[in-house]
Amino acid sequence: MGSNALAWTGSRVATRAVRPRRERALVRAAQRGDEAAVEALFRLHWPTAYRAAWLIVRDAGAAEDIAQEAFLAALRALGRFDHTRPLGPWLRRIVANRAIDAARARTLRREVGDAALDTLSAAPAAPVAQPSDAVLAALAALPDEQRVPVVLRHLLELTPGEIAGVLELPRGTVNSRLRRGLDALEAQLRDAR
């Protein structure tokens, strides 16, 4: 794309500012059962977890539920987590997997006759950098098979290999869906001008 259609309107998400050593210490303390460390990790990663879920399901209530469930799942698995690695990417993958499952379930419900669910346009619960309204509207117009990989890659910063694992697709399929999605996004944004 000529101009980066996914350029942020502000700085990177706050979790980038946390020193890795501090986060590792919090993870080790949480693994030992320290409730204050769990609370600190929750406060640190909640905005990103919520945003990740919301960008996939586009429903504020569902995104909140998904992010909370992902945190609980991460806490249950924290004993197996390698505390030398950053927590954020691991948690985002858990959130993305749960959000994709929720989106698939919602699609399945629609296909078998349930009333369509209204998509709520909501901002994340905490102030984080956001794509412009035009980019969000263009993303929402993309079909799921293109929107989800674009969101995972360009907004949630997963690698194509990680996306392939999350979506259980071959990497080549992920790459082609990313390319088609970015091309469609660029065309929509160009037409909107």
Residue 156: how many CB atoms within 10 A of its CB?
Answer: 23
Confidence (pLDDT) at 107: 60
- Side chain identity at 71, as an amino acid letter? F
User: By C-alpha distance, which of 116, 150, 115 is closest to 136?
Assistant: 150
Confidence (pLDDT) at 39: 94
50-82 as b/e: b if 16+ CB within 10 A: bbbbbbbbbbbebbbebbbbbbeebeeebeebe
Please list the pLDDT of the chain residue by residue as tens digits (193 residues): 333 333 333 334 444 455 788 888 999 999 899 999 999 999 999 999 999 899 888 889 999 999 999 999 999 998 888 877 888 888 988 998 899 888 877 664 444 343 333 333 333 444 445 678 888 888 888 888 888 888 888 888 888 888 888 888 898 999 999 999 999 988 988 887 7
Domains (range + CATH), the chain: 15-122 (1.10.1740.10), 131-193 (1.10.10.10)
Helix/strand/coil for 67? helix
Q: Which residues contact 108 (CB under 8 A, 6 or more apart)?
A: none
Confidence (pLDDT) at 115: 39
